[in-house]
């Protein structure tokens, strides 16, 4: 039986559809809240995580997720027996939950760190401080991102 024009177009159409599906599903995975929890547990271990002491300055609405200014500061006297050992920053929905780890010492004088980060989506950013007595303190901030970073195509 000779192939009709209708049969041919049907076949070609379904092949095209089948061909596009893998491209659509090939999106990079996002870090899930479970990955965020696991990353935090990696740093904190089984220690209790308390809220307070830490301040996270980040704009609540950013137009471009490629450079988001961020400052973390911790209320601490920064003396030899009461200081901040480290500051850890995490995100919820980038492909990877870590943003940065910063290690301080009593000679830092002030427990404050600033940098610029990337955010791939509207999400929660979490900052955790480890004090010299090995207690952990956290704060979270929600950021709305209109242009996402990290996973866009190269030009």
Partner 1 sequence: MAALINVPAKARRGDVIEIRTLTSHIMETGFRHTADGALVPRDIITSFMCRYNGTEIFRADLFPAIAANPYLSFFTVAKESGKFEFEWIGDNGYSSSASAMITVE
- Binding residues for partner 1, rule: CB under 8 A, are 23, 26, 28, 66-68, 91, 94-96, 98-105, 107-119, 149-155
Smallest gap from Cβ 1 to partner 1, in A, equals: 38
Smallest gap from Cβ 82 to partner 1, in A, equals: 15
Of 23 and 34, which has the nearer Cβ to partner 1? 23
Smallest gap from Cβ 57 to partner 1, in A, equals: 12
Smallest gap from Cβ 71 to partner 1, in A, equals: 8
Of 13 and 109, which has the nearer Cβ to partner 1? 109
DSSP-derived secondary structure for 80-140? TTB-EEEEEEEESSSSSSEEEEEE--GGGSS-EEEEEE--SSSEEEEEEEEETTS-EEEEE
Burial (CB count within 10 angstroms: exposed 0-12, middle 13-18, buried 19+), residue 129: buried
Of 68 and 138, which has the nearer Cβ to partner 1? 68
- Round to whole Å and give the CA distance between 121 and 146: 8
3-state secondary structure of 76: coil
- Round to whole Å and give the CA distance between 68 and 45: 29
Of 49 and 66, which has the nearer Cβ to partner 1? 66
Are 75 and 113 in contact by the 8 Å Cβ rule? The answer is no
Task: Report the DSSP beta bridge partners of residue 51.
Answer: 138
Of 125 and 136, which has the nearer Cβ to partner 1? 125
Smallest gap from Cβ 39 to partner 1, in A, equals: 10
């Amino acid at each position: 039986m000779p192939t009709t024009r209708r049969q041919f177009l049907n076949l070609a159409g379904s092949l095209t559809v089948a061909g596009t599906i893998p491209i659509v599903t090939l999106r990079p995975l996002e870090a899930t809240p479970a990955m965020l929890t696991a990353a935090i547990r990696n740093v904190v271990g089984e220690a209790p995580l308390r809220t307070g002491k830490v301040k996270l300055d980040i704009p609540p609405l950013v137009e471009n997720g490629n450079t988001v200014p961020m400052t973390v500061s911790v209320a601490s006297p920064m003396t030899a027996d009461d200081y901040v050992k480290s500051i850890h920053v995490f995100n919820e929905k980038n492909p990877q939950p870590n943003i940065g780890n910063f290690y301080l010492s009593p000679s830092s004088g002030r427990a404050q760190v600033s940098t610029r980060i990337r955010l791939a989506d509207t999400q929660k950013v979490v900052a955790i401080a480890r004090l010299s007595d090995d207690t952990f303190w956290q704060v979270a901030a929600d950021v709305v991102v209109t242009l996402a970073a990290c996973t866009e195509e190269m030009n």
